[in-house]
């Protein structure tokens, strides 16, 4: 092949490539110019996002319990930002330079033309500096944003929960594209459950910009702008005064209290202690404080109302009675002999005393273990599981705050899985009869179950929100929660309730809380654990016409009668008296003993 041929071949290749490029340019610039012109026009429109104020929360007596306060948020528009100013801005905002760079690097595509929120809750001095040095700090700006403001009377941290800047993972997994980097989203408690109502809808303003990015007037005279819609307010069943009172009682204690109206499932107060200060999460969170919270050995972030897995002890005995009545193993009048101890499979199961042959009501009053050991054996694991599940055990109640766990209700499958088929005996069920063993419950399950007994089988889902009010249309939404009727004969409930009445008003373990003001009914429980026992009490009042049901758990606080019962009684009396009676004197001494 001669040199000339080779030269011509190379010329040909060069020409061919040039022709391909030119044809493509004709296609883009001459044939499709209009389409791309429109696209570039769109890019010359700046979209200003207006974040709405988050919805407020109101208490039972219509006081604002979660409010907003206006704050300044510093923003940076990555595309306008002069990258030589990183050090200056880092110093100004107190954010390490690396972190600042990383924040801006994360912003992709056309989002780089929108202001990105860099630091929330910035003081006025900093804002004044930014405003004065507008020219020097090109692309650095601020917005007014509302952050949460909480009552100083109570914390209710596990109820309200908090909002946090949306994570990259949440952004990637969201359905639709509502959330953008830097947006706040509810991650715990009511803030999470009612996020869709509380957040509102963002508004958008469209502004034309010239080639220098200067705003030159709104698009279409603002007719295309979308107004923001403020978040809906939510009205809670939580009683502000009762919450404050209960938190005071639980101060420096480790445990949980939840009280609800058994007639409709409305939660009146809920405390999980130790708790934390929600103000930590409003505005920028100090990583040191956060990690201290996370690693605290008392686990303040752990919701003891909805996430525990403790055995309920003797507060379980009503459940056993109901299961026995339902299965036909006992009747309201049949008796079981309780000689003071029970031997099964070569092992002796203890009791508090010898009671002779007693019926279910008496067995509850004196908390006779032997009665329930024997009953459990007769009942068998399948019936045990079947009837307990009817009262909500082993599954989440559906309370409208996040992070609820189902506890653990043992079944044949459970034991087969843990110990292997044929590797366990009926003897395992003996301890389950008195609320020990593998059984695990949460206080919210316990209060729902107590309510169902008080209401003769009406099981309501514990919840906080009574109504949601759209801030724009004032339209009211009443959320509904599941209610089930457990269809047992009235006399079964009467027998159980009578037992609970006698626990307080007869010769039972909680006679210390008997008083002349309100007839209380309930059951104490002492859950054996490593270390000091957990103290339980479940109950309701008034006995004749229940208006409040309660569950109190004291972690490692001793017997049920020691800690849980007086505290529960104090809360119930306080509520029923319209928040006027304080059952404890200043030294924390129970005054019930003198009332009697």
Partner 1 sequence: MTDFFKRFDIVLLLISISIVTVGLVAIYSATYTGESASTYFSRQFLFAGISVVVLIIVTYLPPKTLAKFSYYFYGLSLLLLILVLFFGKKISGQKSWFSVGGFGIQPSEFAKLTTIMALASFLSNDENENKLSNLKNFIIAIAIIAMPVILIMRQPDMGTALVFLSFIIPVFFWAGLSPYWIIAIISPVIIALAAFFGDIYFYIAIALLGLGLVLFKQRYIVTAVIVLINIGVGFGTEYAYEKLAPYQQKRIMAVFDPTTDPLGSGYNVIQSKVAIGSGGFFGKGFLQGTQTQLKFIPEQWTDFIFCMIGEEFGFLGAFIIILLYCILIFKLINNAYLCKNRFLGICCIGFASIFLFHLFINIGMTIGLMPVIGIPLPLVSYGISSLLSFMIMIGIAMNAYRNRNIYI
Residues that bind partner 1 (CB under 8 A): 1, 3-4, 6-7, 9-11, 13-15, 17-18, 20-22, 24-26, 28-30, 32-33, 35-37, 39-41, 43-44, 79, 108-111, 113, 209, 211-213
Tell me the closest approach of the beta carbon of residue 36 to partner 1, in angstroms.
3
Phi, psi dihedral angles at 366 (to 5 degrees): -100, 0
The closest alpha carbon to 278, from 425, 402, 154, 176, belongs to 154
Tell me the closest approach of the beta carbon of residue 77 to partner 1, in angstroms.
11
Tokens at 44, concatenated: 């010359």
State how far the Cα of 310 lies from the Cα of 430, in Å rounded to an integer: 17
Phi, psi dihedral angles at 185 (to 5 degrees): -145, 140
Tell me the closest approach of the beta carbon of residue 406 to partner 1, in angstroms.
34
The closest alpha carbon to 200, from 414, 473, 518, 536, belongs to 473
Tell me the closest approach of the beta carbon of residue 223 to partner 1, in angstroms.
22
Q: Which is nearer to partner 1, 88 or 582 (CB)?
A: 88
Separation of CA 334 from chain center: 43
Q: Which is nearer to partner 1, 113 or 414 (CB)?
A: 113
Tell me the closest approach of the beta carbon of residue 5 to partner 1, in angstroms.
10
Tell me the closest approach of the beta carbon of residue 93 to partner 1, in angstroms.
24
User: Cα separations (Å) of 281 from 39, 53, 151, 162, 293?
Assistant: 41, 17, 14, 7, 12
Tell me the closest approach of the beta carbon of residue 560 to partner 1, in angstroms.
56
Residues 6+ positions from 204 with CB-CB distance below 8 Å: 47, 48, 49, 50, 225, 226
Tell me the closest approach of the beta carbon of residue 41 to partner 1, in angstroms.
8
Instruction: Report whether the peptide linkage leading into residue 542 is cis, meaning its omega lies within 30 degrees of zero.
Output: yes
In the chain the first and final C-alpha atoms are separated, in Å, by: 121
Q: Which is nearer to partner 1, 1 or 175 (CB)?
A: 1
Q: Which is nearer to partner 1, 109 or 531 (CB)?
A: 109
**3-state DSSP assignment of residue 450:** helix
Tell me the closest approach of the beta carbon of residue 95 to partner 1, in angstroms.
22
Q: Which is nearer to partner 1, 28 or 418 (CB)?
A: 28
Q: Answer whether 314's CB lies under 8 Å from 434's CB.
A: yes
**Angle made by CA atoms 212, 217, 222, in degrees to the nearest 5:** 140
Please, is 327 exposed, middle or buried when counting C-beta atoms within 10 Å of its C-beta (0-12, 13-18, 19+)? middle
Tokens at 119, concatenated: 């630091």
Please name the residue that has the structure tokens 């999980």.
272
C-beta neighbour count of 21 within 10 angstroms: 10
Q: Which is nearer to partner 1, 77 or 303 (CB)?
A: 77
Q: Which is nearer to partner 1, 14 or 389 (CB)?
A: 14
The closest alpha carbon to 398, from 458, 444, 454, 440, belongs to 444
Q: Answer whether 65's CB lies under 8 Å from 236's CB.
A: yes
Q: Which is nearer to partner 1, 173 or 252 (CB)?
A: 173
Please name the residue that has the structure tokens 């766990």.
405
Q: Which is nearer to partner 1, 28 or 289 (CB)?
A: 28
Tell me the closest approach of the beta carbon of residue 15 to partner 1, in angstroms.
7
Q: Which is nearer to partner 1, 1 or 421 (CB)?
A: 1
Tell me the closest approach of the beta carbon of residue 133 to partner 1, in angstroms.
17
Q: Which is nearer to partner 1, 9 or 131 (CB)?
A: 9
State how far the Cα of 540 lies from the Cα of 451, in Å rounded to an integer: 7
């Amino acid at each position: 092949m001669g040199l000339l041929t080779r030269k011509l071949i190379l010329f040909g290749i060069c020409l061919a490539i040039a022709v391909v490029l030119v044809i493509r340019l004709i296609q883009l610039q001459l044939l499709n110019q209009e389409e791309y012109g429109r696209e570039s026009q769109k890019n010359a429109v700046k979209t200003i996002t207006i974040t709405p104020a988050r919805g407020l929360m109101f208490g039972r007596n219509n006081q604002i319990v979660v409010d907003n306060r206006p704050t300044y948020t510093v923003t940076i528009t990555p595309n306008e930002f002069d990258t030589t100013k990183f050090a200056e801005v880092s110093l100004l905002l107190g954010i390490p330079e690396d972190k600042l760079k990383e924040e801006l690097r994360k912003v992709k595509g056309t989002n780089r033309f929108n202001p990105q929120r860099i630091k929330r809750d910035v003081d006025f001095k900093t804002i004044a500096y930014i405003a004065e040095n507008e020219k020097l700090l090109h692309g650095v700006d601020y917005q007014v944003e509302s952050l949460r403001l909480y009552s100083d009377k109570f914390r209710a941290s596990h109820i309200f929960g908090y909002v946090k800047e949306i994570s990259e993972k949440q952004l990637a997994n969201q359905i639709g594209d509502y959330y953008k980097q830097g947006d706040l989203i509810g991650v715990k408690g009511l803030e999470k459950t009612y996020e869709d109502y509380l957040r509102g809808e963002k508004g958008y303003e469209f502004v034309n910009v010239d080639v220098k990015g200067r705003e030159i007037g709104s698009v279409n005279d603002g007719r295309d702008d979308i107004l923001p819609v403020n978040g809906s307010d939510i009205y809670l069943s939580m009683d502000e005064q009762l919450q404050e009172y209960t938190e005071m009682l639980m101060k420096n204690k480790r445990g949980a209290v939840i009280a609800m109206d058994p007639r409709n499932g409305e939660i009146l107060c809920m405390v999980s202690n130790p708790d934390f200060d929600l103000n930590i999460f409003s505005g920028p969170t100090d990583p040191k404080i956060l990690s201290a919270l996370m690693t605290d050995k008392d686990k303040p972030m752990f919701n003891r109302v909805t996430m525990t897995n403790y055995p309920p002890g003797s507060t379980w005995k009503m459940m056993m009675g109901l299961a026995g009545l339902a299965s036909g193993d006992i009747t309201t009048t049949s008796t079981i002999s309780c000689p003071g101890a029970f031997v099964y499979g070569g092992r002796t199961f203890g009791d508090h005393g010898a009671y002779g042959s007693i019926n279910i009501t008496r067995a509850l009053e004196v908390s006779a273990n032997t009665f329930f050991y024997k009953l459990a054996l007769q009942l068998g694991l399948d019936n045990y599981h079947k009837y307990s599940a009817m009262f909500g055990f082993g599954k989440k109640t559906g309370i409208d705050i996040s992070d609820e766990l189902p506890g653990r209700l043992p079944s044949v499958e459970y034991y087969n899985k843990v110990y292997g088929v044929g590797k366990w005996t009926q003897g395992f069920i003996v301890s389950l009869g008195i609320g020990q063993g593998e059984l695990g419950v949460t206080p919210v399950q316990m209060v729902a179950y107590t309510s169902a007994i008080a209401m003769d089988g009406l099981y309501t889902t514990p919840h906080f929100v009574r109504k949601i009010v759209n801030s724009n249309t004032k339209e009211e939404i009443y959320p509904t929660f599941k209610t089930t009727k457990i269809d047992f004969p009235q006399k079964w409930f009467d027998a159980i309730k009578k037992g609970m009445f006698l626990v307080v008003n007869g010769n039972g373990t909680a006679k210390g809380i008997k008083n002349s003001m309100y007839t209380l009914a309930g059951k104490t429980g002492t859950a054996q654990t490593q270390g000091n026992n957990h103290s339980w009490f479940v109950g309701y009042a008034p006995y004749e016409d229940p208006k409040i049901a309660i569950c109190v758990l004291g972690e490692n606080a001793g017997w049920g009668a020691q800690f849980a019962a007086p505290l529960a009684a104090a809360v119930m009396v306080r509520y029923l008296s319209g928040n006027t009676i304080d059952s404890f004197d200043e030294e924390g001494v129970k005054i019930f003993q003198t009332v009697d």
